[in-house]
Amino acid sequence: MNVYETHNIGTLLSGNTYPGRGVIMGKSADGRYAVTAYFIMGRSANSRNRVFVEKPDTHEVIIYPFDASKVEDPSLIIYSPIRVWENKLIVTNGNQTDTVYDFVREGKSFEEALETRCFEPDPPNFTPRISGMITFKDGDFIYKMSILKSADAEGTACNRHTYSYAALPGLGHFIHTYMCDGNPIPTFCTEPERIYIPNDIDAFTADIWNNLNEQNKISMYVRYVDLETGEEQNRMINKNK
């Protein structure tokens, strides 16, 4: 077993009908870009009734209902997955985005913010909360990833796992909410998976989107940030148009 092996993101996704929601962070192969991606999937009509919207003034992302008249329960499906505070880019799969944002704005840490949160209250799945944060500094960056998940099948306690990474060219990490489809849906149970990050944002976007299950995929967003100029390239895809 090669613990340093990197995988193609399309290969990881193509054989998995339901990884759920996913966060990717890493550095492009040429070392030029800080890269992040976020996608959502859904099995129910309520979950599938969503679109990503980018705020042009801040380049933050908000999830809105595609058809507001069909919203059943907005509490776990409507949130801001991407927010920015100064030199920090925050990406999560729930309203803990706002928790992390508020804490770092007050000078506190990513870990402190997530100590106040738990997995989602949706038995029997107890969907994990997955989060990531890039911190830019001196023309480079580091990134952290986290998963908050149930300690047992009854949801009696929350286990918190945080991973801190140096940014290495061509290397990214991929964390998602579920291992695969099921009933209940099995929680992600490994370390974030090592993936290859190419230089081309369009190729990377296509590799993710085209390999997500056609029936269950909903929306995705990819951002490449030039480490020298700070210039952004963004790609957003919504199945509901």
Please report which helix (H) or strand (E) contains residue 166, including its range: strand 158-166
Let me know: does 153 contact 124? Beta carbons within 8 Å.
Answer: yes
Task: Work out the angle at residue 126's Cα, subtended by the Cα atoms of residues 180 and 51, and round it to the nearest 5 degrees.
Answer: 70
pLDDT of 69: 81
pLDDT of 238: 97
- Residue 211 CA to residue 237 CA, distance in Å, equals 14
pLDDT of 72: 78
**Beta-ladder partners of 69:** none
pLDDT of 99: 98
Task: Give 139: exposed, middle or buried? Use CB within 10 Å, 0-12, 13-18, 19+.
Answer: exposed
pLDDT of 168: 98
Count of Cβ atoms closer than 10 Å to residue 109 Cβ: 14
pLDDT of 19: 98
Let me know: does 61 contact 37? Beta carbons within 8 Å.
Answer: no
Please report which helix (H) or strand (E) contains residue 163, including its range: strand 158-166
- Residue 212 CA to residue 87 CA, distance in Å, equals 31
pLDDT tens over the chain, length 241 residues: 788 999 999 999 998 999 999 999 999 999 999 999 999 999 988 889 999 999 988 889 999 999 888 877 777 778 999 999 999 999 999 999 999 999 999 999 999 999 999 999 999 999 999 999 999 999 999 999 999 999 999 999 999 999 999 999 999 999 999 999 999 999 999 999 999 999 999 999 999 999 999 999 999 999 999 999 999 999 999 999 8
CA 16 to each of CA 60, 84, 182, 210: distance values in angstroms, whole numbers, following the listed order = 29, 31, 11, 13
pLDDT of 149: 98
Strands 88-92, 129-137: pairing kind: antiparallel
Q: Per 3-state DSSP, what percentage of the chain is helix, strand, and coil (rounded to 5)?
A: 15, 40, 45
CATH of 9-238, one of 3.40.228.10, 3.40.718.10, 3.60.20.20, 3.30.930.10: 3.60.20.20
Let me know: does 51 contact 99? Beta carbons within 8 Å.
Answer: no
Q: Which long-range contacts (CB under 8 A, 24 or more apart) does 146-151 make?
A: 146/110, 146/111, 146/114, 147/175, 147/188, 148/96, 148/114, 148/117, 148/118, 148/119, 149/119, 149/187, 149/188, 150/119, 150/126, 150/187
